[in-house]
Amino acid sequence: MPGAIRPRLFVLCVTLAVAGSAAADDPPAIDPFGPRTGGREDAIPGYLELSDGSVHPGRLYLTRETKLKIYDGAKKSFREIPLDAVSRIDCAVEKEWTEKEWRFKENASDEKVYTGRSYPAREYSHTITLGDGRTIRGPLSAIVYVEPAAGGEAERYLLHQRDKGEPGTDLKALLYVRKVRLGEKALEEGKKKAGKR
């Protein structure tokens, strides 16, 4: 009987030893409630400029495991482009207008009434320039984060085809991302531009 136990005990010890060495090779567990560690390893230096002329230099990145999604009119299909393949993104306003705000007169009614307020609306197209100089133009959908060069929390910016503002505001108040520049030279340029404002 004692002889039958020894092989099982040996197998258990070997299993624990192998599991222990594998655990030592694994990266440390991340505590989601613990303090934040350094910035994102996939962030790229550069800057982002808004339509009001404000410049935001820092390290830029997308949501994890995502790419820039743009409709390529020449190929008539959507393309996904990693941020590290891009040197710049330029936004062009295709159309802008002020829209009247309407609401249903009462619940379960088809009749709409004008509220007396209006809101700004705008449509955009974007041009992505790749590192090798090729360009792709079309509607773009992406969320870009900027870790400020001066430190602090990352800022979130939305690149998309159509936008609308709050009722009672005008087109000037409806800010959009005018351009994004990527690379070390772009970061230095962005810091200079931000310093002048």
- pLDDT tens track for 93-130: 999 999 888 888 777 778 888 888 899 999 999 999 99
Ranges 51-60, 65-74, 182-191: which has the least confidence: 65-74
Confidence of residue 25 (pLDDT cuts 50, 70, 90): low
- 178 vs 74: CA distance, rounded Å: 23
Going from the C-alpha of 150 to that of each of 1, 98, 113, 146, 195, the distances in angstroms are 71, 37, 49, 11, 11
* Burial annotation 36-57 (CB, 10 A radius, 16+ → b, else e): eeeeeeebbbbbbbebeeebbb
- Give the pLDDT mean for 65-94: 93
Segment 165-180, tens digit of pLDDT: 999 899 999 999 999 9
Task: Please give the sequence-ordered ranges of beta strands (E in DSSP) within 108-154, or none if there are none.
Answer: 112-130, 135-138, 140-148
* 182 within 8 A of 190, measured Cβ to Cβ: no
In this structure, what are the phi and psi dihedrals at residue 136, rounded to the nearest 5 degrees?
-130, 130
- Give the pLDDT mean for 149-161: 90
Select from 67, 48, 92, 74 the least CA-distant residue to 135. Answer: 74
Confidence of residue 50 (pLDDT cuts 50, 70, 90): very high
